[in-house]
């Protein structure tokens, strides 16, 4: 493509910049949507049924019995799809109509996003989102640097830097040059790799290679850069953002799979019944029908009873189709949708500080929330707030940060007043500190304290932004650093701004500029970073901070005693679970520095072993350090995390922490939030570096937890020895105590390999808490996948960052924390909550209710349809197997759709067996969901048996009663139409009483829906059987007057009462006896709850959590490499850039 030449570029047929996430337009909505809906098996099935019904020879039902429900079902879905799509259209329009500045013929023109084309040059301003994938040409910052935030793409909120190639950065904002820029770009075809781009820019006959550092991706936001120009490379659907989305995998719940299996069973059952009835019909036609031809001749095409039987098979197939109710899937969706709304509406999951309610982004997984067995949690930002707070420090052997009361006793910090920072105008008001002695030392001008904070304010890679005078905003690479710099700022050493050569610090109100000579950046190996500065007093100083283990060895021998004191303090800090760093300095001889600097630049320029050489040079500088002190940063846990985890543990939910963080930190947090407890029987650490050791470690752990599991005779072993075919499941194994396990990513890589997989799984699943540290995002997903593959359990992944996305997508349920680290996790999640502690409410309250409701719904729904449909089976024996329906066709049409739909909805939207307080108080109530006790194949068979029984009662009681029976005025009542009415009314009463029995939570709405539906049935009955309607369409409404003649029969009501009692009594008896004979834990708890609700003598008391922490060391340094390199690169590039500049001047 060529810049600034729309004509040429249009020949390549690039798409324009319109994005389209909507699926339909006004015109294609109907056909497309219908087509999509009929791709669903159930809908297609009903469509086939409909066609079958159109064949008059086999159709026992009028066409409308299927068409009306099908229409309703389809239109509900269509309306929902339409609403979704309208939303998407609005979003699209909003995005497409945003305006952007385009360079056109030497002038800047405003245009809409959707009109941007490949090859255009656009101007982007600070804080603007990037319009398309753009090749950076030039920017307001030196060297063509541009800062962007990529929160939308990868979830990272920190700034990234992009740099244009030098030849184009010279274009600057010269519109003339820009519009005459005619570089040609050849690049790879659009793909979804965010961090890869290759291309060649040909400009003035020269080729320049392009990589992803030059590319601004759509979705990024320009930050800290006043303006920049870019050449549009990919537009609209070609952009990396759009290429990356839309491929979300569709999650299905266990219940969905179960439903599919059951529907298949029903089909088989249905086929079997049809077959039996068809044979019956054949025999009947042969023995009776043949001779009955005087009155009812066979149809012309029926040559023998066999042909007739084949036709009857299909007739019964149509009649009995209500076994698989058309409204099942729609009802399931509606119920899930309703229960999702409850999640969105829950005020107790609304996080006021961020103004975010919980959000059910997927509405198809609700009941699975009530079945979770394993929770995989990220650490940073999920368990912790990812907010680091400068909590304590030790300076020159004196510890600061503890609160003391008047008698000098240490007290809880919350009881002490915050330190007043009003003396410092630039202080961050959010910062709080509780020890006044430090401020006093500060004010007194304590040399060490000053030096300590000076080093904190200099030795970092934070960028500052000062939009309003005096209001500094720090952009830190890691929150630790931000916390340290903020602390220094509040105590009076304000880091104000930096260029690539200087750092401006306001020292106790006095502005000083330090010359930045070098940054010896952090790396995972070095575990420390240093800066070398030239002070205004012309002294060269090195400031270093780093992990104590490393720094200790670099200290000058003279500060040994101080080191010992400080180490003691560090132990104290670690004891409290704080993250610690050591701070040291060194004054460098000017000459020494000059020599070193030379070596350094040589090392930088060397081509071989550059890394090694540089680190050698660094090591030369970082020695003989003078210890200043140590800092302690609190990695704040989110509110209520330990309590939540304790509750979830009680609900037998196992919580694993999968984190990229290092082992010490992770373990520390695990203790802090009760994943590991002191009373545990043992904690295993797996850190082997090869196959064999990992295996040994795993087996050792298993041996301790359950020695017999290693024996050949163990059932699981014998099972595995049979080499079962995939997919097979590993049963749950019970260990002999509470254990914890720690495994690091390195060992996990081995453990996840083929033959160790099962070993790992069996060992790990026996542990109560598991910590996996140093995990890559891929490994997180692998662990989840492993679990899904071999265990029949529901897994839940919760995380907040881009690195959790893979695991969130892999797990059955993915939960995103809308927190610190951007939106990526949230966008890929099924549920978004803003605090970890809401998880217990989401699972124990909403999940449990959803699950219970869904199970009740399914049991009842299948039951009512079996009872309804099987009646035809019994009637077949008395109607010559002729596929005559028992009911009026209108009853068949309305049964699922009108008469029984609302009670079912009220049951499945309002029912609560126990209220939220109890479900949280007794997490054990969650247990049945995990084992899927309330609706499984066994329960389904029970429904079937119940349905068969009910239909039997409902058919034979009326049949025997009206047989040869007459009305009190002598007219016969055993006619077909009266019988239909009788049976259908009895059926409806029975199923209504049945649902009344199932309902445990009778709200006003439940009453209205349940009893109202029954009343409504009678209203409709009189309408359908009224003179007016029947006279208008005599052939459609044939039941004229039946209601009036039959409903006043005493037999009618006696039959109904009898049928109801006969159908309900066994159910009541069973439900009463079940907890007596087979008591489950849940029943006992329920008993207790019922006892308490009736006699509220024992108010539920929340057990207080113990806060005992053992002595654990955690010398953490949560730092990533990044900004340091950027600043330094700016610096080391200085020479080159100058050369280029001079070069261009010459031109």
Partner 1 sequence: MAMNYNAKDEVDGGPQCPPGGTAKNRRPDNTAFKQQRLPAWQPILTAGTVLPTFFIIGLIFIPIGIGIFVTSNNIREIEGNVFMYYGLSNFYQNHRRYVKSRDDSQLNGDSSALLNPSKECEPYRRNEDKPIAPCGAIANSMFNDTLELFLVGNESYPTPIPLKKKGIAWWTDKNVKFRNPSGGESLKERFKGTTKPVNWVKPVYMLDSEPDNNGFINEDFIVWMRTAALPTFRKLYRLIERKSDLHPTLPAGRYYLNITYNYPVHSFDGRKRMILSTISWMGGKNPFLGIAYIAIGSISFLLGVVLLVINHKYRNSSNTADITI
Q: Which residues contact 415 (CB under 8 A, 6 or more apart)?
A: 403, 405
Q: Which of residues 964-1003 bind partner 1 (CB under 8 A)?
A: 964-980, 1000-1003
Among 8, 88, 182, 942, binds partner 1 (CB under 8 A): 88
Query: Cα–Cα distance between 469 and 303 in angstroms, integer?
Result: 99
Binding segment for partner 1 (CB under 8 A), chosen from 75-83, 502-510, 626-634, 669-677, is: 75-83
972 assigned to a ligand binding site: no
Residue 438 or 959 having the CB closest to partner 1: 959
State the binding string over 44-63 for partner 1 (x if CB under 8 A, else -): ------------x---x---
Query: Cα–Cα distance between 508 and 493 in angstroms, integer?
Result: 6
Q: How far is the CB of 501 from partner 1 (least distance, A)?
A: 32
Query: Cα–Cα distance between 854 and 729 in angstroms, integer?
Result: 25
**Residue-by-residue DSSP string for 115-131:** G--TT-EEEEETTPBP-
Among 243, 515, 884, 936, binds partner 1 (CB under 8 A): 884
Q: Does residue 417 contact residue 406 with C-beta atoms inside 8 Å? A: no
Closest C-alpha to 926, from 367, 383, 377, 376: 367
Q: Which of residues 736-765 bind partner 1 (CB under 8 A)?
A: none
Q: Which of residues 390-449 bind partner 1 (CB under 8 A)?
A: none
Q: How far is the CB of 646 from partner 1 (least distance, A)?
A: 14
Furthest-apart CA atoms within the chain: distance in Å: 127
Query: Cα–Cα distance between 182 and 4 in angstroms, integer?
Result: 6
Residue 354 or 937 having the CB closest to partner 1: 354
Whole-Å CA distances, 612 to 526, 609, 1120? 12, 5, 19
Q: Does 466 bind partner 1 (CB under 8 A)?
A: no
Q: Which of residues 136-155 bind partner 1 (CB under 8 A)?
A: 152
Q: How far is the CB of 866 from partner 1 (least distance, A)?
A: 22
Q: Which of residues 840-869 bind partner 1 (CB under 8 A)?
A: 849
Residue 107 or 347 having the CB closest to partner 1: 347
467 assigned to a ligand binding site: no
240 assigned to a ligand binding site: no
Among 68, 387, 1005, 1047, binds partner 1 (CB under 8 A): 1005
Residue 341 or 1018 having the CB closest to partner 1: 341
Q: How far is the CB of 489 from partner 1 (least distance, A)?
A: 22
579 assigned to a ligand binding site: yes
Residue 927 designated active-site: no
446 assigned to a ligand binding site: no
Query: Cα–Cα distance between 499 and 496 in angstroms, integer?
Result: 11
Q: Does residue 1052 contact residue 1043 with C-beta atoms inside 8 Å? A: no
970 assigned to a ligand binding site: no
Residue 161 or 217 having the CB closest to partner 1: 217
Q: Does residue 799 contact residue 817 with C-beta atoms inside 8 Å? A: yes
Q: Does 1006 bind partner 1 (CB under 8 A)?
A: yes
Residue 530 main-chain phi, psi, to 5 deg: -140, 155
Binding segment for partner 1 (CB under 8 A), chosen from 400-408, 801-809, 819-827, 1013-1021, is: 819-827
545 assigned to a ligand binding site: yes
1017, with CB counted inside 10 A (0-12, 13-18, 19+), is: buried
Among 525, 726, 1076, 1097, binds partner 1 (CB under 8 A): 1076
Residue 73 or 672 having the CB closest to partner 1: 73
Binding segment for partner 1 (CB under 8 A), chosen from 63-71, 158-166, 505-513, 880-888, is: 880-888
Q: How far is the CB of 235 from partner 1 (least distance, A)?
A: 14
Residue 402 main-chain phi, psi, to 5 deg: -90, 145
Among 462, 957, 987, 995, binds partner 1 (CB under 8 A): 957
Q: Which two tokens stand for residue 1132?
A: 């080391």
Q: Which of residues 1087-1116 bind partner 1 (CB under 8 A)?
A: 1087-1088, 1090, 1093
Q: Does residue 531 contact residue 540 with C-beta atoms inside 8 Å? A: no
Among 315, 322, 478, 985, binds partner 1 (CB under 8 A): 315
927 assigned to a ligand binding site: no
Q: How far is the CB of 37 from partner 1 (least distance, A)?
A: 9
Among 241, 326, 369, 533, binds partner 1 (CB under 8 A): 241
* Separation of first and last alpha carbons in the chain: 27
Q: Which two tokens stand for residue 952?
A: 């039997």
Q: Which of residues 361-390 bind partner 1 (CB under 8 A)?
A: 361-364
Q: Which of residues 1007-1066 bind partner 1 (CB under 8 A)?
A: 1027, 1030-1031, 1034-1035, 1038, 1040-1041, 1044-1045, 1049-1051, 1054-1055, 1058, 1061-1062, 1065
The active-site residue out of 111, 154, 378, 635 is 378
Query: Cα–Cα distance between 283 and 290 in angstroms, integer?
Result: 10
Q: How far is the CB of 751 from partner 1 (least distance, A)?
A: 33
Binding segment for partner 1 (CB under 8 A), chosen from 114-122, 330-338, 404-412, 552-560, is: 330-338
Tell me the torsion sign for CA atoms 139, 140, 145, 147. Answer: negative
Q: Which of residues 282-301 bind partner 1 (CB under 8 A)?
A: 288-289, 291-292, 294-297, 299-300
Among 25, 91, 609, 718, binds partner 1 (CB under 8 A): 91
**Residue-by-residue DSSP string for 344-359:** HH-GGG-BGGGTB--E
Neighbours of 528 (CB within 10 A): 26
Q: Which of residues 181-220 bind partner 1 (CB under 8 A)?
A: 218-219
The rounded radius of gyration (Å) of the Cα atoms in the chain is 37
Binding segment for partner 1 (CB under 8 A), chosen from 77-85, 206-214, 434-442, 702-710, is: 77-85
Q: Does residue 867 contact residue 990 with C-beta atoms inside 8 Å? A: yes
Number of residues binding to partner 1, judged by CB under 8 A: 135
Closest C-alpha to 144, from 49, 68, 205, 208: 208
Residue 506 main-chain phi, psi, to 5 deg: -95, 110
Closest C-alpha to 535, from 495, 470, 587: 587
661 assigned to a ligand binding site: yes
Binding segment for partner 1 (CB under 8 A), chosen from 564-572, 701-709, 805-813, 1070-1078, is: 1070-1078
Q: Does residue 530 contact residue 543 with C-beta atoms inside 8 Å? A: yes
Q: In what order do the strands lie in the sheet with 206-210?
A: 184-187, 199-203, 206-210
**E strands present in 605-651:** 626-637
Can you give the three-state secondary structure of 265-333, one letter per residue? HHHHHHHHHHHHHHHHHHHHHHHHHCHHHHCCCCCCCCCCHHHHHHHHHHHHHHHHHHHCCCHHHHHHH
Q: Which of residues 1120-1139 bind partner 1 (CB under 8 A)?
A: none
Q: Which of residues 915-934 bind partner 1 (CB under 8 A)?
A: 916, 922, 924
Binding segment for partner 1 (CB under 8 A), chosen from 79-87, 512-520, 592-600, 757-765, is: 79-87
**Residue-by-residue DSSP string for 851-918:** HHHHHHHHHHHHHHHHHHHHHHHHHHTTTTT----SS-HHHHHHIIIIITHHHHHHHHHH--SS-HHH
Helix (H, G, I), strand (E, B) or coil at 222: strand
481 assigned to a ligand binding site: yes
Binding segment for partner 1 (CB under 8 A), chosen from 5-13, 524-532, 577-585, 822-830, is: 822-830
Q: Which two tokens stand for residue 57?
A: 């020879």
Among 103, 570, 833, 959, binds partner 1 (CB under 8 A): 959
Q: Does 77 bind partner 1 (CB under 8 A)?
A: yes
Q: Which residues contact 573 (CB under 8 A, 6 or more apart)?
A: 392, 394, 580, 630, 632
Q: Which two tokens stand for residue 230?
A: 């870019």
522 assigned to a ligand binding site: yes
Q: Which two tokens stand for residue 382?
A: 């999920």
Q: Does residue 235 contact residue 242 with C-beta atoms inside 8 Å? A: no
Binding residues for ATP: 378-380, 481, 522, 545, 579, 659-661, 774, 780, 803-804
Binding residues for Mg(2+): 378, 380, 800, 804
Query: Would you please indicate which residues are annotated as catalytic (active-site) residues?
Result: 378
Binding residues: 378-380, 481, 522, 545, 579, 659-661, 774, 780, 800, 803-804
């Amino acid at each position: 493509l060529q810049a600034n030449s729309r004509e040429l570029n249009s020949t390549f047929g690039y798409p324009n910049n319109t994005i389209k996430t909507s699926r339909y337009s006004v015109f294609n909505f109907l056909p497309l949507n219908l087509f999509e809906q009929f791709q669903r098996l159930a809908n297609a099935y009903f469509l086939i049924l409909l066609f079958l019904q159109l064949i008059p020879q086999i159709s026992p039902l009028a066409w409308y019995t299927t068409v009306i429900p099908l229409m309703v079902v389809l239109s509900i879905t269509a309306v929902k799809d339409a609403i979704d799509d309208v939303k998407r259209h609005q979003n699209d329009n909003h995005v497409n109509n945003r305006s952007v500045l385009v360079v056109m013929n030497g002038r800047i023109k405003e245009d809409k996003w959707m009109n941007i084309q490949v090859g255009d040059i656009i101007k982007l301003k600070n804080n603007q989102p990037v319009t398309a994938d753009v090749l950076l040409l030039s920017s307001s910052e030196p060297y063509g640097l541009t800062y962007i935030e990529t929160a939308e793409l990868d979830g990272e909120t920190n700034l990234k830097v992009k740099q244009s190639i030098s030849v184009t950065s010279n274009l600057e904002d010269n519109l003339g040059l820009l519009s005459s820029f005619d570089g040609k770009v050849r690049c790879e075809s659009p793909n979804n790799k965010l961090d890869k781009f290759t291309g060649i820019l040909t400009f003035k006959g020269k080729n320049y290679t392009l990589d992803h550092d030059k590319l601004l991706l759509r979705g990024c936001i320009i930050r800290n850069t006043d303006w920049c120009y870019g050449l549009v490379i990919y537009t609209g659907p070609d952009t990396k953002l759009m290429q990356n989305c839309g491929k979300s995998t569709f999650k299905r719940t266990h219940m969905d799979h179960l439903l599919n299996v059951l529907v298949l069973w029903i089909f088989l059952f249905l086929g079997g019944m049809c077959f039996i009835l068809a044979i019956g019909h054949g025999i009947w036609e042969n023995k009776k029908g043949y001779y009955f031809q005087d009155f009812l001749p066979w149809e012309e095409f029926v040559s023998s009873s066999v042909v007739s039987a084949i036709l009857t098979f299909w007739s019964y197939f149509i009649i009995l189709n209500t076994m698989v109710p058309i409204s099942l899937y729609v009802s399931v969706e509606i119920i899930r949708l309703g229960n999702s709304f409850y999640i969105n509406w829950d005020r107790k999951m609304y996080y006021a500080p961020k103004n975010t309610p919980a959000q059910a982004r997927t509405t198809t997984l609700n009941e699975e929330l009530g079945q979770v067995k394993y929770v995989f949690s990220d650490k940073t930002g999920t368990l912790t707030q990812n907010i680091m707070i400068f909590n304590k420090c030790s300076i020159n052997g004196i510890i600061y940060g503890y609160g003391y009361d008047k008698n000098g006793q240490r007290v809880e910090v919350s009881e002490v007043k915050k330190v007043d920072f009003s003396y410092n105008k630039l202080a961050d008001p959010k910062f709080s500190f509780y020890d006044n002695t430090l401020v006093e030392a500060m004010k007194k001008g304590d040399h060490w304290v000053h030096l300590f904070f000076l080093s904190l304010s200099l030795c970092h890679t934070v960028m500052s932004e000062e939009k309003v005078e005096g209001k500094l905003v720090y952009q830190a690479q890691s929150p630790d650093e931000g916390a340290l710099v903020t602390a220094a700022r509040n105590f009076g050493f304000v880091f104000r701004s930096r260029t690539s050569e200087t750092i401006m610090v306001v020292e106790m109100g006095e502005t000083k500029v330090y010359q930045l000579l070098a940054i010896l950046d952090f790396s995972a190996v070095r575990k420390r970073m240093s800066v070398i500065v030239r002070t205004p007093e012309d002294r060269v100083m090195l400031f270093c901070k780093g992990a104590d283990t490393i720094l200790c060895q670099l200290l000058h021998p003279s500060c040994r005693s101080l080191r010992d004191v400080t180490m003691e303090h560090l132990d104290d800090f670690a004891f409290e679970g704080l993250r610690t760093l050591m701070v040291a300095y060194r004054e460098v001889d000017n000459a020494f520095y000059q020599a070193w600097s030379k070596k350094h630049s040589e090392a930088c320029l060397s081509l071989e072993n550059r890394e090694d050489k540089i680190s050698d040079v660094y090591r030369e500088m970082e020695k003989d350090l003078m210890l200043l002190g140590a800092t302690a940063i609190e990695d704040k846990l989110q509110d209520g995390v330990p309590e939540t985890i304790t509750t979830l543990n009680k609900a037998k939910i196992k919580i694993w922490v999968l984190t990229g963080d290092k082992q010490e930190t992770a373990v520390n947090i695990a203790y802090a939030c009760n994943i590991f407890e002191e009373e545990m029987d043992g904690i295993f650490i797996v850190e082997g570096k090869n196959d064999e050791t990992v295996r040994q470690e795993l087996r050792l752990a298993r041996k301790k937890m359950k020695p017999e599991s290693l024996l050949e005779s163990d059932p699981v072993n014998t099972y595995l020895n049979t080499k079962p075919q995939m997919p097979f499941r590993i049963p749950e194994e019970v260990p002999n105590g509470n254990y914890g396990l720690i495994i690091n990513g390195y060992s996990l890589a081995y453990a996840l390999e083929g033959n160790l997989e099962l070993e790992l799984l069996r060992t790990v699943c026996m542990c109560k808490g598991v910590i996996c540290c140093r995990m890559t995002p891929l490994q997180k997903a692998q662990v989840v996948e492993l679990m899904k593959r071999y265990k029949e359990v529901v897994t839940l992944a919760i995380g907040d960052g881009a690195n959790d996305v893979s695991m969130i997508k892999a797990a059955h349920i993915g939960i995103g924390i809308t927190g610190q680290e951007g939106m990526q996790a949230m966008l890929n999640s099924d549920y978004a909550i803003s605090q970890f502690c809401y998880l217990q409410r989401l699972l124990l309250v909403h999940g449990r209710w959803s699950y219970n409701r869904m199970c009740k719904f399914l049991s009842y729904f299948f039951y009512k349809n079996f009872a309804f449909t099987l009646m035809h089976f019994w009637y077949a024996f008395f109607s010559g197997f002729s596929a005559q329906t028992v009911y009026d066709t209108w009853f068949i049409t309305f049964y699922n759709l009108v008469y029984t739909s609302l009670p079912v909805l009220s049951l499945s939207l309002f029912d609560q067996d126990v209220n939220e307080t109890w479900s949280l108080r007794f997490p054990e109530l969650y247990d049945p969901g995990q084992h899927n006790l309330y609706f499984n194949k066994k329960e389904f068979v029970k429904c079937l048996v119940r349905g068969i029984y009910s239909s039997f009662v409902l058919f034979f009681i009326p049949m025997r009663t009206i047989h040869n029976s007459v009305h009190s005025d002598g007219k016969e009542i055993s006619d077909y139409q009266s019988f239909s009415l009788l049976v259908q009314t009895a059926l409806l009463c029975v199923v209504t009483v049945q649902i009344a029995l199932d309902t445990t939570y009778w709200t006003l709405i439940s009453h209205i829906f349940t009893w109202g539906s029954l009343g409504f049935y009678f209203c409709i009955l009189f309408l359908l059987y009224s003179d007016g309607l029947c006279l208008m369409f005599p052939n459609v409404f044939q039941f004229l007057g039946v209601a009036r003649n039959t409903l006043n029969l005493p037999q009618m009501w006696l039959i109904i009462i009898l049928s109801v009692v006969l159908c309900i009594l066994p159910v009541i008896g069973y439900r009463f006896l079940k907890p007596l004979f087979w008591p489950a834990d849940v029943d006992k708890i329920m008993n207790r709850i019922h006892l308490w609700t009736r006699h509220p003598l024992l108010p539920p008391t929340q057990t207080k959590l113990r806060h005992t922490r053992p002595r654990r060391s955690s010398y953490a340094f949560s730092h990533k490499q990044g900004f340091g390199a950027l600043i330094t690169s700016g610096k080391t590039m200085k020479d080159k850039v100058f050369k280029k500049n001079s070069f261009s001047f010459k031109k």
